[in-house]
Structure 1
Amino acid sequence: MTSHSHPAPKYYVLKERIRALAAKGEPGTLISTERALAAEYGTSRTTVRQAIAELVAEGVLDRTQGHGTFVAHNRPTYVRQLTSFTEDAAAQHLRTSSELLGISTVPAEGEAAHRLQQSAGAPLTRVERIRLINEEPLAHETALLPGELPQLADALAHSGSLYAALQESYGIRITDAEDTVETQLAGPEDVRLLGLEMGFPLLLIHRLGLAGDTPAEWTRSVFRGDRFRFQARRHRD
């Protein structure tokens, strides 16, 4: 049986050439303009733009509006396990911080009510934050927690970790977590909150946190696709 090989798409060939150029350059080195690269490699600017966009998404290149495209600096990659963001980052010697966008009480509805086993309209505490690694935005996180949690902002400011605040101030200890991971592309809100470009690849993670057998957390987190790896470990008897 004869096998037929198909040539790689033009943009992919160009992408690998630019990747090789970037590997030879120092971080921060400015690469040629789209127009110059299109002329040099005899291709369209659309092809160049696609190749560069994928290399930016992979963290090989950085692009700044009005300043051009550069060889990316080596940035730390956050690895998520089945503990809190703060605990995961500390284990990797990464400096974390959070920007609190708001804490409010909202009525339970839809999937959140189902996941948290709350009746429709029951009060949930909503915590919205931007999570940062080394002062760079990594994720937009919205947590929904059953009931009302008075003084949560103070507890969060004191502990720095939502899980620690829940345990220390409210006696709620998250013992198990179930993460569901999907992909999506950055929309206007992601562009505004995470400083990305439209269409940038993101990882959407929904987490159900359990305190024993009781659902205690339903969190939606959107992570930059170029700075995130997910790691899960299971023990089999």
Structure 2
Amino acid sequence: MALRRDYAHRVPSPEGDPTASLRLGVDRNSPVPLYFQLSRQLESAIAQGSLTPGSLLGNEIDLAARLGLSRPTVRQAIQALVDKGLLVRRRGVGTQVVQSQVRRPLELSSLYEDLHTAGRGPATRVLSNALVPASPEAAAALGVAPGEEVRRVERLRLADGEPLAYLCNHLPARLPGLDDAGLREGSLYALLRGAGVTLHSARQRIGARSATRTEGALLGESARAPLLTMERTAFDDTGRPVEFGAHLFRASRYSFDFQLLVRP
């Protein structure tokens, strides 16, 4: 027998409440906690654009009454999304929707192209693009001697006009076509493919740390805000390293998706 889902509309929705147009409800026969059911529905509405960035959620008391839930249950559902960075509580304003997180699969792809595919309006600010002596770390990754000339590119990647990531890449100096205009208008990997590079594989390491004051200002976060870190060395189809990247992502706006398989 199918489980019953209760869609409650006992109390009229306040004018201007964006949740009024959503078909929210809970299945009281489900073993899934009521707060989690509501939280997932609100998260889905944010991901699908039904709750747009900047919109204000209605009063918790009104929402609880409309759905026939207790206020602590509604508060717990909303807090779960605050903890995920999808909602923010602003004193004197209320609970506001912020940009949904960018969820990126772990594969050898360009962030610019992933954002474009997801409809997130990617844009790039080129902070620097110059030939510099290779640091010991970059030299080891690219297989050149320390101090040998390499190209260092620093960019700020935005999604829908909001800072998302700071990208720092070191590349072999021999690679042509890496001008500022090309870096602003598209992806680094597209430029590499245009230069005749066939990307084949990469070695990647993911971590986390707190933002410095400078990094926070650049990314629109406070000092010591959590950041995701990623280091990647990419190789072409001959096995030569063609890119060493050290990137920072806003943990409140970005996450990685993993698919795990049982080992046979």
1:120 corresponds to which residue? 146
Q: Is the counterpart of residue 174 in structure 1 residue 204 in structure 2? A: no
Residue in structure 1 matching 2:56, options 17, 20, 28: 28
Matched to 2:155, the amino acid is: R
Matched to 2:233, the amino acid is: L
Q: Distance in 2 between matches of 1:224 and 1:88?
A: 16
> Deviation at 1:226?
1.7
1:63-118: per-residue Cα shift (whole Å, max 9, x none)?
77x98774333525241432111222233232211111110111112111111111
> Deviation at 1:167?
1.7
The percent identity for this pair of structures is 30
> Deviation at 1:204?
0.4
Q: Number of residue pairs matched?
A: 194
- Conservation of the 8 A alpha-carbon contact between 2:182 and 2:191: yes
Residue in structure 1 matching 2:254, options 195, 209, 228: 228
The secondary structure found in structure 2 opposite 1:79 is strand
Larger Rg: 2
The secondary structure found in structure 2 opposite 1:130 is strand
Structure 1 stretch 192-201 or stretch 136-145: which is displaced more? 192-201
Q: Distance in 2 between matches of 1:111 and 1:198?
A: 26
1:47 corresponds to which residue? none
2:212 corresponds to which residue? 187
> Deviation at 1:229?
1.9
The secondary structure found in structure 2 opposite 1:179 is strand
Q: Distance in 2 between matches of 1:158 and 1:181?
A: 25
Pair 1:77–1:151, CA change in 2 (3 A): closer
> Deviation at 1:125?
0.3
Residue in structure 2 matching 1:141, options 162, 167, 189: 167
Q: Distance in 1 between matches of 2:235 and 2:176?
A: 21
Pair 1:159–1:194, CA change in 2 (3 A): closer
> Deviation at 1:228?
1.4
- Conservation of the 8 A alpha-carbon contact between 1:124 and 1:145: yes
1:165 corresponds to which residue? 191
Matched to 1:162, the amino acid is: L
Residue in structure 1 matching 2:96, options 71, 78, 84: 71
Q: TM-score, with normalisation over the residues of structure 1?
A: 0.69
Q: TM-score, with normalisation over the residues of structure 2?
A: 0.62
- Conservation of the 8 A alpha-carbon contact between 2:126 and 2:156: yes
CA RMSD of aligned residues (A): 3.4
1:156-202: per-residue Cα shift (whole Å, max 9, x none)?
2585110111121x222222122200011111122111110122111
Unpaired runs of 5+ residues, structure 2, are 1-34, 43-50, 60-78
Q: Is the counterpart of residue 200 in structure 1 residue 228 in structure 2? A: no
Q: Is the counterpart of residue 81 in structure 1 residue 109 in structure 2? A: no
Q: Distance in 2 between matches of 1:205 and 1:178?
A: 10
The secondary structure found in structure 1 opposite 2:222 is coil
